[in-house]
Chains A and B, each alone.
Chain A
Amino acid sequence: MTREETETSGEDMMIDDPKPKIENDFNVHYLRIYYGNLFPYTDIHKWLSYGHDGKHPGCDEYYFGRREFSFTLENDVYLRYKSFKNASLMEAAIKSNFPYKIDIGAVYSVDPDKRHAYAQSGTNLFTPVERELVFDIDITDYDDVRYCCSGADVCSKCWPLMTVAIKVIDTSLREDFGFKHILWVFSGRRGVHCWVCDAKARRLTNEQRSAVAEYFRVYKGNENNAKKVDLMGHSLHPFLARSYVDFIKSFFEGELQATQSIFSSKEKYEKILGMITDEDIQADLRGKWENSARSSLSEEATSLLRWEQLKKALQSKRNKALSLRTCVEEIVFTFTYPRIDLEVSKQMNHLLKAPFCVHPKTGRVCVPIDPNNCDEFDPLAVPTLSQLIEEINSGGLRMDVDDDDSDSSLLGKSIKFFRSSFLEPLLKSCKEEIESSYKTKIAKTKDSFSW
């Protein structure tokens, strides 16, 4: 088995067992049925064509063919620089390979298949020209602030961290950056991906992508510093202030206390005390909390009480030291603010897992998430391969992507949502753009004929 050029993609996928266990709801046989009957080839093709369907004279019929895909097959075989001229070729390739994972890369200047022909001269002519602006949020990046799970696990207590992240980032992408065509996708196990598909976003350079990612970055942590969020200055930037007021403050003081009880044990509260730069306040609070260790309050109530005590202690000394002014916010941000994987966003050629893939470890489908209803999303209720296969077997339904009854089936809801709230508005906007740039081009050539 050969291994071609590798590229790290969003989620670290190591297939430990050569034979996936059936209790994980995943096996190769089911995967074949999934790709044979359920995967929405036409929708994915329509999306990635961005309106270049050949129907309008301004279309670029080779656009889809210049997109890179990669397949990860059974036994870790990795195939990069795959490209397809049209939807049926893509479908045929997937149905003959049954990849464990499909990644989507950039649209290049030439067909990825032909890249070697263009790499001869000193200057490189095989370069990415368009690529969605993407984000990857993985809950393992929050391991230092979640106490219910760690590593690959996720539960209803810590998943809300993802929900808050979606809200903060989605709002900012729309309000601050003016983007409109945003797709949020469940990564299949423990995180979310975001695809920003506006034309402007697709044409951003690496430097500009990096700038957006850094704009979102607040947490700068590693095991060596106790204080990983440093909000300097006399006020918060309006973006951070809005995120705080609209989303993360209430989350911290409500749901987080209930699910994580971040003050309830010495080990937990020492971590927070370490973020307060004033030693007197630290000692004062430590004293209070050690004494009340055997109180009869519930964990949640204890946590809330101690949070109030902490705020009060800081409030009284607010005006004495600049570093204490933002301490409350810093603690809140440390526990709740989104932590994105910067490397995924910064480079155009970075590959990211395609929506509607199936995660090999969990068997769950990577379904879209509605950012306006993300509170309702439950990662543990996402359809698994075996559930889908079961549904086919019992209903005897052959899943037809154009079937109007499809929204009643497990996967149908997701596909319908993908189409109506993401794909249709996107394609409408793409058509308008193709139309208008075509008109501009025609007008220009008309001018050049003037005598």
Chain B
Amino acid sequence: MEVIRSQKRTVSNDVVSTPTLPLYLTAPHMEVRLEEFELFAIDRLRVLKGVSDGLARARNPNEMDDLVETLWKEHMRLSNVSEMINKDIISHFVLRLVYCRSDELKKWFLSMETALFRHRFRLKKIEEQRAIVGEFGLPYKAVIGAELESLKERLGLVARSHGQISSDGTCNMLYFDPMFTLSHLAVKLVPFLMEKFLSFLSFAVENIYYKVPFEEVPDLVASRRVLLQKGFAFVAGTQLVSLVVTQFRSHLSKALILTNRKWTTTIREREKDRLTPIVEALSTSYLGPDYSQSNEYADISLKDIDQVSKSSFPLCMRHLFEKLREDHHLKHGGRMQLGLFLKGVGLKLDDALAFWREEFTKKVGSERFDKEYAYAIRHNYGKEGKRTDYTPYACSKIITSAPGAGDHHGCPYRHFSEDNLKAALSRMGLSSRGMEDVMDKVRNRHYQLACTLTFEAVYGTSCDTGINHPNQYFEESQKILKSKTPAAPV
């Protein structure tokens, strides 16, 4: 894959002929524009994060199928099919570079790509599925003849043990024995015979059995969905997903190790002025709106700020706010985190200055405030220095910050002790049941999900997109509260 700056992209003919679910076995021979390098990867990352969210919420396989279909359409769809396939392949390989760089990143990427593949595979028709199996070059042959004969009865038992039975009590799994089925058909009436014959045809196509070493299909073995004999599992055509997903995962796992090696030895240095910064930024990137421009929901004035902090602030900001009121001071990290948040929430510069001045002068006096702190506030609003209008921090940034002694910034779900967090949650009004759910997410290190569950518990509503940004929490909260009491300030 060659990354270029030119306007046109040349694509090799191989790409067009691959099926619609690529296996990413080898890096493609194509040129990629630099902008696409990043943008395609970001879109795919949105899909993977959606998958991650779905899995963390324990969606069942059918729900995951739907979720994947929706996510794919939303982020990866392009006007023509070959463009879509290109984007699919390019984005995957870019993300390999991003996520090969540590064990933790590898593990996440492997899980999400495997899940994505599994559900995209499940959505394909059986012929396409079989074509994909062929693509992998798996050496498994269909079971036929005398061997099949000897296994037939037990294969039927396996199928029946998982309830695949038709209403007339006969077993639906035909194991492709034309003689058996024809003699069975011979005694039936003609229309019934025709119907059975036609359904026989479709079954015959589907219910072929493959002889596969049992290690290749661990999930089918674990649930006793296959017959085992002398170390081999007999996998039905309809069970191909398991086989293929295991292969996919194993291949990708090995590929990531190789990619990592290449990255550390050559690519990272060679690309340090071009691709490397993009790659390094992608793994921690936040993908939602940046809240640098506040909107109509969020114009707050100073007189409302205390009330609003109790009703609509996420826990991280509420904590900072309370500490500021308590200590009349915040250290740098806290000032940045809270200050930018308030900007995103709609606090104008003049009000911000007044707000911070009110608190800080209780401790340091107004002269020192003007000298040491006012400048920084103006800087945040882009009125000083290089005039960058800084954007409020997203959850990913807050979670990865490291509050030290005397600091109050960071993410409480990550940085608080269990006891302190529980106390804080109960002050927000969570019941003990709700708290347990939140703590469970915290223990599994799903900090943003914990915050989402808190949101859902506090406002009695579900938040399907999940919380990714404190300002998002604030906006959603305001929406809900305003819809309940339109007139009064909330």
Q: Please give, as numbers and ranges, the residues of chain A lying within 8 Å of B160 by CB-CB distance.
A: 233-235
Write the nearest CB–CB distance from A329 to chain B, whole angstroms.
Answer: 12
Interface residues of B in 203-227 (CB under 8 A from A): 214-215, 218-219, 221-224, 227
Interface stretch of the complex, out of B33-41, B59-67, B229-237, B362-370: B229-237
Contact in complex: B154, A238 (CB < 8 Å)? yes
The answer to the question of B158 belonging to the interface, with a C-beta cut-off of 8 Å to chain A, is yes
Q: Is the CB of A210 within 8 A of B157?
A: no
Query: Is there an interface contact between A200 and B231, defined as CB atoms closer than 8 Å?
Result: yes
B162 to chain A: which residues have CB within 8 Å?
233
B223 engages A214 (CB within 8 Å): yes
Contact among A122, A175, A233 with B163 in the assembled complex (CB-CB below 8 Å)? A233
A208 touches B215 (CB 8 A): yes
Partner of B157, one of A175, A178, A179, A237: A237
Q: Quick check: is A407 within 8 A (CB to CB) of the other chain?
A: no
In the complex, B228 has a CB within 8 A of chain A: yes
Cβ distance B66 to chain A, nearest Cβ, rounded Å? 26
A241 lies within 8 A of chain B by Cβ: yes
- Determine the distance from Cα of A305 to Cα of B282 in the docked complex, in whole angstroms: 72
**Beta-carbon contacts of A227-247 to B below 8 Å, as 1s and 0s?**
000001111111111000000
A164-190 residues at the B interface, CB under 8 angstroms: 175-179
Q: Are A176 and B215 in contact (CB under 8 A)?
A: no
Report yes or no: B224 in contact with A237, Cβ–Cβ below 8 A. Answer: yes
Which of B103, B161, B163 has the most chain A CB atoms closer than 10 A to its own CB? B161
Whether A297 sits at the interface, judged by CB under 8 Å, is no
A204 interface residue, CB < 8 Å from B? Answer: yes
0 or 1 for each of A196-210: is its CB under 8 Å from B? (1 = yes): 000010001001101
* Complex: chain A residue closest to B103, CB-CB: A123
Contact B222 A122 (CB under 8 A): no
A451 within 8 A of B: no
Q: A122, A177, A215, A236: which contacts B161 (Cβ < 8 A)?
A: A236
Interface residue? B301 (CB, 8 A): no
Q: Is the CB of A215 within 8 A of B221?
A: yes
How distant is the Cα of A175 from the Cα of B214 in the complex, in angstroms?
A: 13
A172's nearest neighbour on chain B, judged by CB, is: B228
Q: Collect the chain B residues with CB atoms within 8 Å of residue A122's CB.
A: 102-103
Q: How far is the CA of A80 from the CA of B73 in the complex (A)?
A: 53
The verdict on A211 contacting B163 (CB below 8 Å), with A175-B229, A175-B230, A237-B157 known, is: no
Cβ of B158 and Cβ of A211 under 8 Å apart? no
Is there an interface contact between B218 and A238, defined as CB atoms closer than 8 Å? no
CB pair A241 B103 closer than 8 Å: no
Q: Assuming A123-B103, A176-B228, A214-B223, is B214 touching A233 (CB within 8 A)?
A: no
Of chain B, the residue at the smallest CB distance from A241 is B157
Closest to B257 in A: A123
Q: Say whether B218 contacts A208, CB under 8 Å.
A: yes
A177 neighbours in B (Cβ, 8 Å): 214, 228, 230-231
Of A175, A179, A211, A238, the residue contacting B222 (CB under 8 A) is: A211
B102: chain A residues within 8 A (beta carbon): 122-123
Q: In the complex where A122-B103, A175-B229, A204-B215 touch, is A212 in contact with B161 (Cβ < 8 A)?
A: no
Name the distance in Å between B265's Cβ and chain A's nearest Cβ: 14
**Is residue A124 within 8 Å, beta carbon to beta carbon, of the partner chain?**
yes
B161 to A234, Cβ gap below 8 A? yes
B165 at the interface (CB under 8 A from A): yes
Would you list which residues of chain A between 242 and 268 have a CB under 8 Å from chain B? none
Complex-state Cα separation, A234 to B214, whole angstroms? 24
What separation, in Å, do the CA atoms of A238 and B232 have in the docked complex? 14
A211 near B221 with CB under 8 A, answer yes
CA distance A29 to B163 in the complex (A): 61
B167 to chain A, nearest CB (A): 13
Give Cα A200 to B216, complex, Å. Answer: 12
**Are B161 and A237 in contact (CB-based, < 8 A)?**
yes
Which of A176, A207, A215 sits near B229, CB closer than 8 Å? A176
**Minimum CB–CB distance for B227 against chain A, Å:** 6
Q: Which of B175-225 contact A (CB under 8 A)?
A: 214-215, 218-219, 221-224
A236 touches B157 (CB 8 A): yes
**Separation of A265 and B157 alpha carbons in the complex (Å):** 37
Taking a contact as CB atoms closer than 8 A, the residue among B154, B221, B229 that contacts A212 in the complex is B221
What is the distance, in angstroms, from B152's C-beta to the closest C-beta of chain A? 12
In angstroms, Cα B214 to Cα A212, docked, is 9
Is B222 a contact partner of A215 (Cβ separation < 8 A)?
yes
Residues of A within 8 A of B214 (CB): 177, 211
| Chain B residue, CB-CB nearest to A179 | B231
Contact A211 B219 (CB under 8 A): yes
Measured between beta carbons, the chain B residues less than 8 angstroms from A234 are: 160-161, 163, 165
Q: Are B230 and A178 in contact (CB under 8 A)?
A: yes
Which residues from B are CB-within-8-Å of A212? Answer: 221
Bound together, the chains give a CA A179 to CA B102 distance in angstroms of: 37
Name B151's closest neighbour in chain A (CB-CB). Answer: A238
Residues from chain B with a CB closer than 8 A to the CB of A240 are 161, 224
B contact residues around A237 at 8 Å (CB): 157-158, 161, 224
In the bound complex, residues from chain A placing their C-beta under 8 Å from that of B163 are: 232-234
The reply to whether B222 and A239 form a contact with Cβ atoms under 8 Å apart is no
Nearest B residue (CB) for A211:
B218
Residues of B within 8 A of A204 (CB): 215
Query: Residues of B contacting A175 with CB < 8 Å?
Result: 229-230
User: Using Cβ atoms and an 8 Å threshold, which residues of chain A touch B161?
Assistant: 232-237, 240
Q: Nearest chain-A residue to B227 (Cβ)?
A: A238
Which of chain B's residues has its CB closest to A207's CB? B218
Instruction: Check A124–B103 contact: CB distance below 8 A.
Output: yes
- Enumerate chain A residues within 8 angstroms of B228, measured Cβ to Cβ: 176-177, 215, 239
Which A residues are in CB contact (< 8 Å) with B154?
238
Per the 8 Å Cβ criterion, residues 98-136 of B in contact with A are 102-103
Cα–Cα distance between A15 and B71 once the two chains are bound (Å)? 57
B102 nearest CB neighbor, chain A only: A122
In the bound complex, residues from chain A placing their C-beta under 8 Å from that of B229 are: 175-176, 178
* Separation of A177 and B221 alpha carbons in the complex (Å): 10
B165, B222, B223: most-surrounded residue (chain A CB, <10 A) = B222
What A residues does B222 contact at CB under 8 A?
Answer: 210-211, 214-215
Across the interface, name the chain A residue whose C-beta is closest to B171.
A234
Residues from chain B with Cβ under 8 Å of A241 in the complex:
157
CA of A211 to CA of B219, assembled, Å: 6
Q: Which residues in B have their C-beta under 8 angstroms from that of A124?
A: 103
Most-contacted residue by chain B among A175, A207, A238 (CB, 10 A) = A238
| A210-B218 contact given A233-B160, A233-B162, A236-B157, CB 8 Å threshold | yes
Across the two chains, which residue of chain A brings its CB closest to B163?
A: A233
A308-365 residues with Cβ-Cβ distance < 8 A to B are none
The smallest beta-carbon distance between B376 and chain A, in angstroms, is 36
> B230 contacts which chain A residues (CB < 8 A)?
175-178
User: Residue of A at shortest CB range from B215?
Assistant: A208
Q: How far is the CA of A212 from the CA of B221 in the complex (A)?
A: 7
Complex interface: chain A residues within 8 A of B224 (CB)? 215, 237, 239-240
In the bound complex, residues from chain A placing their C-beta under 8 Å from that of B215 are 200, 204, 208
Given A123-B103, A208-B215, A211-B218, the answer on whether A178 and B158 have CB atoms closer than 8 Å is no
- Could you tell me the distance in whole angstroms from the C-beta of B133 to the nearest C-beta in chain A? 20
Contact pattern, B 412-434, Cβ under 8 Å of A = 1, otherwise 0: 00000000000000000000000
Neighbouring A residues of B231 by C-beta, 8 Å: 177-179, 200
User: Which residue of chain B lies nearest to A217 when distances are taken between CB atoms in the complex?
Assistant: B222
A residues 78-137 in Cβ contact with B at 8 Å: 122-124
Contact of B158 with A238 in the complex, beta carbons under 8 Å: yes
Q: How far is the CB of A129 from chain B (nearest CB, A)?
A: 15
A241 vs B153: C-alpha distance in the bound complex, in angstroms? 12
CB neighbours (8 Å) of A176 from chain B are 228-230
Least Cβ–Cβ distance between A393 and chain B, in angstroms: 49
Give the 4 A-B CB pairs with smallest separation, nearest first. A178-B231, A211-B218, A214-B222, A176-B228
User: 17 A-B contacts, Cβ less than 8 Å apart?
Assistant: A122-B102, A123-B103, A175-B230, A176-B230, A177-B228, A178-B229, A178-B230, A211-B219, A215-B222, A233-B162, A234-B163, A234-B165, A235-B161, A237-B157, A237-B224, A240-B161, A240-B224
Taking A178-B229, A240-B161 as known contacts, 7 extra A-B pairs with beta carbons closer than 8 A to each other, sorted by chain A number, are A177-B214, A210-B218, A212-B221, A233-B160, A234-B160, A236-B157, A238-B154
